[in-house]
Amino acid sequence: QAAAQVIPAVRLQREADQFQELFPDWSYEDAFQKVMLTWFKKDFFKWVNKAKCSQCGSANTQAVPGAPPTQEELQYGARNVEVYKCQDCPGSGRFPRYNAPLKLLETREGRCGEWANAYACLCRAVGFETRKIHDSTDHVWVEIWSDAKDRWVHADPCEAAMDSPLLYEKGWGKKLQYIFATGKDSCEDVIRRYTGKLPEVKTRRTKV
């Protein structure tokens, strides 16, 4: 319920209606998913490369060895805390890598792992069956079950991209190896969905 409250449902319903008018072959649920991805990226969540200084607010900071998490940070799954020394004052900034979805809906910032955790939480809050996708070459996103398509659909909140599974190989130039989907009761190798070069990918899959 707390997750659903942060979603501007009326606005997204209106935008989904407008999207469906332009693309009538899309189901309403898929159209809603598409506009929710756009809202999440543009208006809700923020990418963090490094922490700002907590003392002066400067973004001119430099990474230094991390710090142990506080009890509160541990409570929300932040076993790793990055620290950045300010170059403009004696202060520094902390970037706890939270895993707890509700905490991420409060902070509204992070990198791809935080983006995927928070977005998956919101998707489930509005009734979408959702699973997380883990790419061994360092990226995380989600898949949503589409009744209209009768299959899992790629959804990357960092890119506001939907049903574009070749984005990473063709668009980013990634040399993919392993991609796994993890759901409530399952773990599945889904590399075939994300590559058009399976024989080449197989040569890089050397881990037992």
> Could you list the active site residues?
112, 139, 156
Separation between Cα atoms, residue 62 and residue 83, nearest integer Å: 8
The backbone torsions φ and ψ at residue 62, rounded to the nearest 5 degrees and listed phi first, read -135, 140
- Report the sign of the C-alpha dihedral through residues 153, 157, 160, 166, in that order: negative
Separation between Cα atoms, residue 52 and residue 130, nearest integer Å: 33
Whole-angstrom CA distances from 10 to 136, 194, 199 are 37, 33, 46
